[in-house]
């Protein structure tokens, strides 16, 4: 379609033809077109590079957010486990539990009478 020719008449003499083909263009016009094409190609490459960097950064941000969420979940789980361990320690250290274990599992009994033994004074002086 670019090779279409338009016939123009300029009176009774010979008909004038106008060619729209690019072969008739001057070297300056061809050079200018090449510069414009290079400019467009450069612009397209720069835009595609910027788009690629933007998409890469977006995916990295999503990845980092997911890692943060999993780490926060792990922290919450560890805090809950830590609270459970503290409760278990408190339960095991209670005096009533210790007394129950001593009586039932170890067979210990509460003493019925308390006997005090006086220490000789010479033993007391050695310790000082």
pLDDT in tens, the chain (128 residues): 556 666 555 555 555 555 555 555 788 899 999 999 999 999 999 999 999 999 999 999 999 999 999 999 999 999 999 999 999 999 999 999 999 999 999 999 888 888 888 888 887 776 55
Q: Which of 28, 25, 35, 27 is nearest to 2 (CA)?
A: 25
Which H or E element spans position 75?
helix 27-93
Place of tokens 């009774």: 12
In this prediction, residue 46 carries a pLDDT of 98
């Amino acid at each position: 379609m670019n090779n279409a020719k338009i016939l123009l008449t300029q009176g009774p003499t010979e008909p004038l033809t106008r060619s729209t083909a690019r072969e008739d263009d001057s070297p300056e016009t061809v050079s200018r077109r090449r510069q414009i094409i290079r400019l467009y190609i450069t612009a397209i490459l720069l835009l595609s590079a910027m788009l690629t960097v933007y998409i890469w950064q977006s995916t990295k941000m999503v990845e980092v957010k997911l890692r943060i969420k999993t780490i926060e979940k792990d922290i919450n789980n560890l805090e809950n486990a830590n609270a459970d361990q503290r409760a278990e320690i408190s339960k095991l250290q209670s005096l009533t539990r210790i007394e129950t274990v001593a009586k039932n599992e170890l067979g210990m009994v509460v003493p019925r009478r308390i006997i005090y033994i006086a220490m000789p004074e010479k033993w007391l002086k050695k310790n000082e």
